[in-house]
Amino acid sequence: MRTGLGIDSHRFVEGDSERPLVLGGLEFKDAPALAGNSDADVLLHALTDAISGVTGRTVIGAVADELCQQGVVDSKAYLREALKDLAPSVLSHVSIVLEGQRPKIDPKVPALRESVAGLLEIETDAVCITATTGEQLDGVGRGEGLRCTVVVTASQA
């Protein structure tokens, strides 16, 4: 059994942006987009890093940067790249914490769980998602962006 930890954060785009906020591969209309070279999906970036913690191959960084330069900005592509190295292990549990003042995550938790489970090809009940505001303790807590922490558990197939 192996455990991987991933953490990512991005600031909100200041002013108007034509890009949507993307979390877990889903678009959120009630908050500004996050700044980044890609779609800035903090959830999928943290998840990709957590899987890298299991496989030992870093994807967010040089691999994702190269994909961005090729015009690939959908974070699902980075996740797929990390999943290539997972075998013979399989993910048995994913725990996700989103931190920020906005958007409200709780109403979207069922859809987020389904999206993440689908991307990982695991059962929805193996994905847990919680949210916290950060209580104004730092920039994320003051509403300047979002942070995501992910822990994955993988076992041998």
Q: How far is 46 from 51, CA to CA, in rounded Å?
A: 9
**CATH number, domain containing residue 108:** 3.30.1330.50
**Nearest in space to 131 (alpha carbons), one of 147, 142, 154:** 147
Note whether 105 and 71 are within 8 A (CB): no
Burial-class residue 147 by CB neighbours within 10 Å (0-12, 13-18, 19+): buried
Helix (H, G, I), strand (E, B) or coil at 31: coil
Q: In the predicted model, what is the mean pLDDT of the chain?
A: 93
Could you give the number of structural domains in the chain? Answer: 1
pTM of the model: 0.95
**Which residues touch 14 (CB under 8 Å, ≥6 apart)?**
none
**Nearest in space to 140 (alpha carbons), one of 46, 74, 47, 65:** 46
Give me the helices (H) in 12-138, please: 42-55, 62-69, 75-83, 109-120
Q: Is the pLDDT of residue 1 over 90?
A: yes
**Nearest in space to 1 (alpha carbons), one of 116, 155, 124:** 155
Q: How far is 80 from 59, CA to CA, in rounded Å?
A: 10
Encode pLDDT of 87-141 as tens digits.
999 999 999 999 999 999 999 999 999 999 999 999 999 999 999 998 988 999 9
Q: How far is 6 from 148, CA to CA, in rounded Å?
A: 8
Domain that holds residue 60: 2-156
- Percent of the chain's residues with pLDDT above 90: 76
